[in-house]
């Protein structure tokens, strides 16, 4: 079986593992059978408890299947989106640039790029895109149409959205080959060195699955991936610093994890540091995107949003 079409909500499939997939990860095997869906979609189904192996619920996406195993997959019901919340956030979504092949969007903090769970009703950028650019529904993976990279919910700034599968393929290659230049502004606690390169590997925290970590754990407990982050300090405050960050790799929560690892968590990062009275989210903004598309160089910039500018003013006032 190899399903190359959209699956109806609440559909149920029973798959039999052929010999060529003996020893494969269960999420990889299922993804190979539903090629319009991303692997992370099936990881979320596993997390939601709707995948079974030989009649037993699967709890880890890394479980291996064997020839002859039976895999049961139940697709979720159609998502019910909080339309009122989406309309409330819509004015803050800015189209910085558009052409027939892609959009450059300035994403506000507080907005998810795509659903984190198939049970989630939270409004996302994908929902907004489908309301305003309906043709994007057919671009990329069914579960996250038009999405080729992400920003964390509380990270503001620039995001590329392909409008054609042609562009989606090109941008996916640029990110894979590390030919997409990304620059962020962050405000961190303390005084890091004037400039530096952080090369700590990153993996999912084996205890708190929603977090990432650069701490070293036994190999069997944690899959780590290389991660490289360049930075330089733009301004020091009393006990904080404004920094320019250039991640070479694009690991989940990379900037946040790397700076907490060197003792300088982002101000306002309630997950990796602590909440702040000065700003109600982590102080991170995607400032610049530069790349080549069809032989032409593109570079886009978006200055700091109001909340981060206000934070800088407060920090300067404390420093004076």
Catalytic residue among 143, 152, 154, 269: 152
* Cβ within 8 Å of residue 13, ≥6 positions away: 1, 3, 7, 33, 72, 73, 74, 75
The phi, psi pair for 169, rounded to 5°, reads -65, -40
Concatenated DSSP letters for 48-63?
TT-EEETTEE---TTP
Query: Can you list the pairs that 78-82 forms with residues at least 24 positions away whose Cβ atoms lie under 8 Å?
Result: 78/9, 79/115, 79/118, 79/120, 79/121, 80/121, 81/121, 81/123, 81/124, 81/127, 82/121, 82/122, 82/123
Distance CA 75, CA 319 (A): 55
Active site residue 152: yes
Distance CA 95, CA 105 (A): 5
The phi, psi pair for 103, rounded to 5°, reads -115, 150
133: β partners: none
Strands (E) in the chain, as ranges, are 12-16, 51-53, 56-57, 70-74, 94-98, 102-107, 156-162, 181-189, 195-198, 202-204, 212-213, 224-225, 229-236, 240-247, 284-293, 296-301
* Cβ within 8 Å of residue 248, ≥6 positions away: 178, 228, 229, 230
Could you report how far apart the first and last alpha carbons of the chain are, in Å? 67
Report in angstroms the alpha-carbon separations of 132 from 113, 128, 220, 313, 315.
15, 6, 45, 36, 39
Catalytic residues: 152
């Amino acid at each position: 079986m190899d399903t190359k079409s959209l699956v109806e909500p609440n559909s149920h499939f029973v798959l039999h593992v052929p010999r060529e997939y003996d020893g494969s990860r269960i999420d990889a095997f299922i993804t190979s059978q539903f090629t319009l869906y991303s692997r992370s979609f099936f990881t979320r189904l596993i997390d939601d408890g709707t995948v079974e192996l030989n009649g037993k619920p699967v709890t880890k996406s890394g479980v291996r299947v064997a020839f002859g195993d039976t895999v049961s997959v139940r697709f979720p019901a159609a998502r019910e989106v909080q339309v009122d919340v989406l309309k409330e956030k819509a004015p803050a979504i800015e189209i910085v640039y558009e052409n027939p092949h892609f959009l450059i969007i300035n994403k506000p903090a507080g907005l998810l790029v795509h659903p984190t769970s198939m049970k989630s009703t939270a409004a996302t950028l994908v929902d907004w895109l489908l309301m305003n650019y309906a043709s994007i529904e057919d671009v990329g993976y069914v579960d996250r149409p038009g999405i080729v990279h992400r920003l964390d919910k509380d990270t503001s700034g620039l995001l590329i959205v392909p409008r054609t599968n042609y562009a989606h393929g090109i941008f996916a290659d640029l990110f894979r080959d590390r030919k997409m230049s990304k620059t962020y502004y962050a405000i961190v606690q303390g005084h890091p060195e004037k400039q530096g390169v952080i090369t700590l590997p990153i993996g999912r925290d084996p205890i708190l699955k929603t977090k990432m970590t650069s701490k070293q754990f036994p190999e069997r407990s944690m899959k780590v991936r290389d991660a490289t982050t360049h930075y330089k300090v733009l301004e020091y405050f009393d006990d904080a610093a404004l920094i320019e960050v250039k991640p070479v790799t694009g690991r989940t929560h990379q900037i946040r994890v790397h700076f907490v690892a060197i003792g300088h968590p982002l101000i306002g990062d309630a997950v990796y540091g602590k909440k702040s009275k000065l700003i109600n989210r982590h102080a991170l903004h995607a400032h610049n995107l530069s790349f080549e598309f069809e032989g032409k160089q593109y570079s886009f910039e978006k200055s700091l949003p109001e909340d981060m500018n206000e934070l800088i003013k407060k920090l300067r006032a404390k420093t004076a």
